[in-house]
Every structure is written in structure tokens, then in C-alpha cells.
Amino acid sequence: MSKEQAKDRILELRKELQEHNHRYYMLDAPTISDYEFDMLLEELIKLEREHPEFNDPNSPSQRVGGTVTKSFETIKHKYPMLSLSNTYSREELEDFDARIKKLIEGDIEYVCELKYDGAAISLTYTNGHLTQALTRGDGTQGDNITTNVKTIKTIPLSLKGDYPPEFEIRGEIFMKLEGFKKLNEDRVEAGFEPFANPRNSASGTLKMQDSAIVAKRPLDSFLYYVMEDRHSAETHYDSIIKAGEWGFKIPRQEKRYIAKAQNIDDVFEFINYWDTERHNLPFEIDGIVIKVNNYNLQEQLGFTAKSPRWAIAYKFKAEQAATPLNSITYQVGRTGAITPVANLEPVLLAGTTVKRASLHNADQIEKLGLRVGDTVFVEKGGEIIPKIVGVDETLRPPNSIPVEYITHCPECNTELVRKEGEAQHYCPNEYGCPPQIKGKMEHFISRKAMDIDGIGSETIELLYNQGLASTVADLYQLQYDELLGLERFAEKSVTNLLEGVEASKQIPFERVLYGLGIRYVGETVAKKLAFHYKTIDNLMNATLEQLVDVDEIGEKIAQSVIDYFADERNRQVVENLKAHGLNLEISAEEQADMTDKLAGKTFVVSGVFSKFSRDELKKAIEKNGGKNTGSISKKTSYVLAGENMGPSKLQKAESLGVPIISEDDFIEMIS
């Protein structure tokens, strides 16, 4: 066979195999036997091996795997992968519907979908080819698992039809129950422990280093959300149908995996149907997702910091189990907060073995009337976190006594305090209690703060125990010679750690401020304080009254900041960090972009815009000293209105006499 003939045959086989894959996995309508398919695939693999010049990363031969990935690159999501707000009751769903109708006038059409119990995935396609697959990660960035995802038969490597030049599609990767059962049977036969549940198995498989093993696991998928800069369809439902035409495995309408709902009653009918029928599905689900169908309305409703306002997840009632309470222990967090933990007789619950459950605080223990030896009812809140919801008093041991909450810290024996109005007890020994000291350093190195490569919680434990670090500033004076030879530390690991520490000096001021771990100062608050005060010195010298004047900074947060910097030990840590060259002020570049042109002005952004996204406009408002709010009031300075602005907002703005400006008006205002 000549080179040209080989090329033609390779292209012919790829096209044929792709079509058979689609018929078998997407349409459940195969036209050839498994044996015939395998023969065609073997022929393709042989030809590609003989003619590597014709290799294609999206060839059907890539499904068999074989690539070994030692570590998975972390990549920032183009669009954040936010989580959904959860609800467990009809009343909360009715509240969700009422909130939508308050913001949007007219009829609202919803889309109801199954909430698949697997691992979330984001796929990028460029010119019809799969180019990237990312895990959800922390929602901002995820791990690149493209090589492993290419082995999953229901993920198309190449598309057909009128797909956009570049887009993302999101969905869930899971294991069908039958495949999971067979996988466990094979593991037991081979002498291995069986896997706990399909969800964990799917998630764990996706992060395996050898893609050949991934290819042998029974992974499946549903893709159900298309992400584009400009939507090619008007509604979420229509975009899913389009995705099916491009070659994706989408939730099937005829099986009622997805349905449109004209009102909240239709939503409840869908929920009630699947509350019973979910037990007959070939895969696991843990609820129903409800979304506003129209993209323009989604745009108007926008997002909170953590989730979209136009979608919600209804979770089915959690499974429950009864088991004895063996003991209660107490954990100390980085802020000194004490968390009681119930140690249970191991019990199988929702596919996993539960041994411990959080009891939250002293009030919760008192409310439950707990006694060691009680048989307690345990369920998984949101199917994830085990919690105790009750006690079977008929099985209570006769000589048991009510649990008395501890009075002293279990780690340093300092007497605990409980401030008025707070639920938790605290250990006040902030600088002498080991879990608090280590916890502060662990928070400082975390991904959302300094993101220091080469250091994890085990390393912090080791450094603290060896007397090498007791504050976050100590991490910047670690020396090569004192690290080399410590447990788990060879030349490469020491070099990685020191390089990670050095690289963290480039982290911007707002993340350093968040990393300090000031109580109540989360990511958003840290950013507001950093942008307002510009430098750590300005912040340290601010009065309570000045802090409260900052947008969205209440007295509780302000007092916490004052208390933190009033302690000379904290000021010394900051001075040490300065000396080591960390960013403790907004850069000149960032400051150059910031103005006070909109100082004292409050904006409501509503509608769809042509030149900038709503998020970009909101950032521009903040950079120029203005404030964003979600609802119109007498205090609103301007409504920045795009196309399809909600009629109720328009009416309210006009009735209150709030000026309505266009996108061009706003650009002129800040230019």
C-alpha cells in the first residue's frame, strides 16, 4: 500500500469508526457487531503505527489510551464553574419562583433536568475538535484531564453540523450502575477492595495517571450546558438540542431526562415523577436542576458570588441510618473555633461508610439531648456531609448521662470563651495553640491565597514540629540546608518548595491580605479593603469609623480588622512580610487604572449589552470608585440599562426618578 493509499484508508476508517461510535453510544442503534468494530479499529491502529506522519490527536484510536500523565496541569476556567444553590422543600422552590417573578415580569419558562451524581466536566472544542477537558476544581481553575477524557466513548473527539468555531460545553461524567457492579466484581475477584460508590469511582478514575486504565473503566457522560461568548440559540433548551445535533450525548427528551416547564406546578410534577422513578434509572441522580430557559432573562437575573440567580437544585431527601454514638471529640480550627465531632460505629450510608459526623456546637448537642452510647440517626446533608438528626431514645442505655460540653481547649488546655450572640466556643490562645498556629499557615499557603507550590498541610506540620516555622513570615526565611534531609525532603522537593515560596511574592495585595486570615475577612472583603486603602499601612492605621464607611464593611468586620492590627505580634508579621518583598500595596499599574470618577455613586446594571459584558461593566464601576447594587431604591444614582431591561425595573426607576443611562453614556462618564 502506497503512502497516499494509506492516508486515504486512514481517513476513511476514522470517519467510519466515528459514525459507528455515534450510532452505538449516542443513538443506541448500532449497525455492525462489536467484533466488526474491533477489526476496523485494529486496522486503523496498525496503519497509524506504520504511518505516524498521519497521526491525529482526535483519531478514534485515541480511545484506547496508553498515555501516562505524572501530574495534571491546573488551568483557569474561561467561565467560572459556579455551584448551584440547593433546596430540599416545596416552600423554598416556591420562594425561588417568587424571586424570579419579582425581578422579571411576564411568563417564565423553566427547564427541568436530572441532577447526575458524578464528576463535573468542562470541555472546549475548537474548529470541531476536542482541545481541552477540565475538572471543576475550585470553580475558578481545574485540572487538565484531556488525555483521560478522550478515552470516554460518549465524549466526541470531532463534531458534525453547524457547531461554533470555539465553545465550551459542560456536563457530568459518571458510571452506570451495571458497569460499576461489574467493576467491583472484577476487583473482588482480583483480591482488591471494592469501590464505595459510582460517584467517587468516576471522580477517582478521571485523575488516574495511566489513560489505558481509564479507557477500561465504564465511564459515561451527559453534556447539558453550552457556554459561548454569544449564544447561538435563544434558549438553554434549544442549545442542548443543537448540541445533540453536533454529536454530543445529551439528556434525552423521550426518556424525560429533560423537559420544559411553563410554571412552578409543571416543575413539581417533574420532581414528583423522578422522586419515584429515579430508583429505576441505570445511573444515580441526587436531585433535579431547575433553570430559567431564556438566555436574555438569565443575563438579566445574573449571579451571586457563588451561584446563578436563574437556577436552583432540588435535592431529594437524604438517606438515613441508625448507629451507636461511641464518643465525642473536639477539633480546634485556625480561628480557634471548637467543633465537636461524633465518633460513630461505622455504618453504610448512601454508598459510603460513615464513621464520624459534625455536631457543630454546644447548642446542637443540647438540642439533640445526646448521650454517649445513644443510637443516633445519621443522614447526609446534601448527600455529602454526614450529620446527626435525632436519637432513638428507646435504645438509650439506662445509666447514660447527658454530654457536658468541654470547658478547656483539648490542645492547649486554655479556658474556652463564647462571645455573646455566637454559636461556637473559641480557644483564645491564638499564638500558643498548635492547631491555630498551623491552621493560619495552611490558610496562607492555600490556592485562593498565596498558592505556594511544594507546601501542603503535611509540610506545615513538619516545619512546625521542627521549629522552622510558627508564623507565615517564617516561610520566607527557610533555608536549603535546614530543609534538606527532613522527612520526605530530597533535593528536588526542597528546590520546589523554595521556588514556590519565592514565586508567591508576585501574588497581588488583595490575596496576601486574605491570606493573613483576619477573622471575617474573606476573598471579597479583602479585595474591597485592598482597593479602598491601596496599602497595608493605610489599612493598619484606619479607625473603626473609617472602616465602616467602606462599601459593605460592617461594624463586625471593622472591629475584627482593628483587633487584628492592634496586636503587636500581627504587626510584626506584616513588617516581616514587607521585608521579604511581598506585595502589600496595590501596584502602580492597578492604581493607574483606578479613579474616583464615580465615588459616591450607586449603580444598578440591567439588561443585555453589546460592547461589554455585565461583569465587565460592574468591574469598571468598582475601579472608578462606584458601587454596584442589585435592586433599585431612592439611593440609586443611575440605572445602567441594556437591551431587554426588565419592565418592572424600568417602571421602578421611572417612579423614583432614577436616571437611566445607556452603555455609551457610561463609557463617556468614565472616559
In degrees, rounded to 5, the angle at the alpha carbon of residue 548 between the alpha carbons of residues 543 and 553 is: 125
Taking the C-alpha atoms of residue 409 and residue 329, their distance in angstroms, rounded to an integer, is: 11
Q: d(Cα 298, Cα 310) in Å, to the nearest integer?
A: 6
97, 155, 298, 441, 582 from 651: Cα distances, Å: 21, 47, 20, 52, 50
Residues constituting the chain: 671
Phi/psi region, residue 627 (left: phi>0; alpha: psi -120 to 50; beta: rest), is: beta
Query: Pairing state of beta strands 338-349 and 320-332?
Result: antiparallel
- 3-state SS assignment for residue 363: helix
Of the candidates 354, 398, 409, the residue with the CA atom closest to the CA atom of residue 376: 354
User: Are residues 106 and 294 in contact, defined by beta-carbon separation less than 8 angstroms?
Assistant: no
Q: Which three three-digit cell numbers place residue 335?
A: 480561628
Nearest in space to 218 (alpha carbons), one of 170, 173, 163, 256: 173
Q: Which of these, 393, 330, 391, lies nearest to 359 by C-alpha position?
A: 330
Number of C-beta neighbours around residue 578 at 10 A: 15
HEC per residue, 416-431 = CECCCCCCCCECCCCC
Measured distance CA(637)–CA(658) in Å, rounded: 6
Contact indicator for 13, 5 with CB cutoff of 8 Å = no
DSSP 8-state class, residue 614: H
* C-alpha pair distances (Å), 227 with each of 80, 162, 166, 299: 11, 15, 10, 13
Q: Which of 133, 112, 97 lies closest to 287, judged by CA?
A: 112
How far apart, in whole angstroms, are the C-alpha atoms of residue 355 and residue 370?
Answer: 17
Q: What's the rounded Cα separation, in Å, for the pair 579 and 273?
A: 64
The secondary structure of residue 61, as a DSSP letter, is: G
Indicate the helix (H) or strand (E) that contains 19: helix 3-21
For residue 658, report the phi and psi dihedrals to the nearest 5 degrees: -80, 125
Is 115 one of the catalytic residues? Answer: yes
Please tell me whether residue 292 adopts helix, strand or coil conformation.
strand
What do you get for the CA distance between the two ends of the chain, in Å? Answer: 67
CB-hemisphere CA count at 13 Å for 482? 11
Rounded Cα distance between 240 and 200, Å, is 27
Among 7, 15, 102, 115, the active-site one is 115
Element (H, E) at 317: none
Transcribe 316-331 into DSSP letters.
Answer: PPPPEEEEEEEEEEEE
Closest to 100 measured CA to CA, from 273, 285, 272, 267: 267
Q: Could you give the residue numbers annotated as active site? A: 115
